[in-house]
Amino acid sequence: MTNAPSKSSNLAKVLTIGIVVVLLGAVGGWWLFYGAAERKVTAYFDAAVGLYPGGDVRVLGVPIGTIDEVTPQGKQVKVTLSVDRDTAIPANASLVAVSPSIVSDRYVQFAPVYKGGPKLGDDAVIPAERTATPVELDNIYRSLNDLTKALGPDGANKNGALTDLLNTGAANLEGNGKALSETLRNLGEAGTTLSGNSDELFKTVDNLQRFTGMLAENDGQMRRFNTQMQEVSSNLAGERNDMSAALAELSVALGKVESFVRDNRSEVQSNVSQLHDVAAVLVKQKAALNESLTTAPLAMSNLNNSYNGASGTLDQRAMFNELNQPPLVAVCKLLDQSTPQQVPLEVSSACDALRPVLAGSEKLPTLAESLNAVQNGKLPPLPLPLTNGLQPAGGGR
């Protein structure tokens, strides 16, 4: 009898273990085939009207999961979602509650579509800043009611102002339907043109912003400029009569000039041609004119200093001490600078005969030294080679 209870106890243990194994296998298989194929996402909404467990989770209208749980938490609503793991969703995606009709329940939809980059992972949380819900119909009705009251007899139309506005608008628009249609069409074309040139438009606006910023930074100078312009305008306004008279006289003078030029066209043309020749000569003599204009003040100053007012004469003084070059050398150099036709043959021959003597002789006395020797009753100190060189080749008499 003792073996029977022990066998029953062992059988119960085996059955218990088997049941546990089967349950674990079932849970593991369910997770493997269902749970592993989904990921959990938690989103927070400011309101969740029309969102219920079992609702769809979509991308571009295609279901990719379901709503698991909707839980109010203070001023927010926590919504837990199960999303297919194979569907890629951007990590920064937003979640929007969509109402397909007025009375039916709503679904949530991810946006935008995944086009690359980080993906939304397991247990991701989408804050309320990235969720949105549609405007409720009650809010629309409430806003319309407030608008009608504001425009009704107890509001803007209390004294008939709105009625007058509508009547005036109807009177102005009556018969102008075609023009209004054309205006709207032109506005549409202008909008299309602007949309096709958005970059240029934005650049223009940016340049205008910089220009206005520059004006704001130089507000003081702009105010002074406007004040000065106002003063100029006031002065011109005060001298209006004189300005009119001056312009009238100028008009008459210009007319006379025009008549003179027309009547003397050939003479004016000849004068202009001759003036062109004179200008060409002045251009060629530019260096000489520049030198003359530079030295003329000094020459006039020297002339003024040499004038003797008492005797009415020009006083001059020869500066022989400045003549450091021997007279013979100076004379021969002056003759060398002259043309051969202007120099007698005897003189040029004498210089040619003296040139080797001068080249091999000692230094000749200067004019100052010669004058000093004469004043002292002596002959100028002529070197001996020069004296011998001046004698005839056959001896002198």
**pLDDT tens digits along 291-326:** 888 888 888 888 888 878 777 787 776 655 555 555
Is 62 part of a structural domain of the chain? Answer: yes
pLDDT at res. 135: 78
Residue 85 and residue 37 in contact, taking contact as beta carbons nearer than 8 Å: yes
Is 284 part of a structural domain of the chain? Answer: no
Is 5 part of a structural domain of the chain? Answer: no
Q: What is the mean pLDDT of residues 262-290?
A: 86
- Using pLDDT thresholds of 50, 70 and 90, give the confidence band for residue 394: very low
CA Rg, the chain, in Å?
59
Is 333 part of a structural domain of the chain? Answer: yes
Domain boundary among 103, 137, 171: 137
Residue 390 confidence (pLDDT) above 50: no
pLDDT tens, residue by residue, 68-113: 999 999 899 999 999 998 889 999 999 999 887 766 678 999 999 9
| Mean pLDDT rounded to a whole number for the chain | 79
* 18-27, 42-51, 154-163, 168-177: range with highest mean pLDDT: 42-51
Is 165 part of a structural domain of the chain? Answer: no
Tell me the C-alpha to C-alpha distance, in Å, between residue 95 and each of 52, 70, 129, 133. 15, 15, 10, 9
Report the half-sphere exposure of 383 (CA within 13 A, side-chain side). Answer: 14
pLDDT tens, residue by residue, 155-201: 777 777 878 888 888 888 888 888 888 888 998 888 888 777 778 88
Report the half-sphere exposure of 256 (CA within 13 A, side-chain side). Answer: 6
Domain boundary among 102, 137, 172: 137
Can you tell me the distance from the alpha carbon of 159 to that of 176, in angstroms, rounded to the nearest whole number?
28
Q: What is the mean pLDDT of residues 28-57?
A: 79
Residue 227 confidence (pLDDT) above 80: yes
Is 285 part of a structural domain of the chain? Answer: no
Is 252 part of a structural domain of the chain? Answer: no
Domain boundary among 101, 118, 137: 137
- Structural domains in the chain (count): 2
Q: 364 lies in which domain range?
A: 320-390
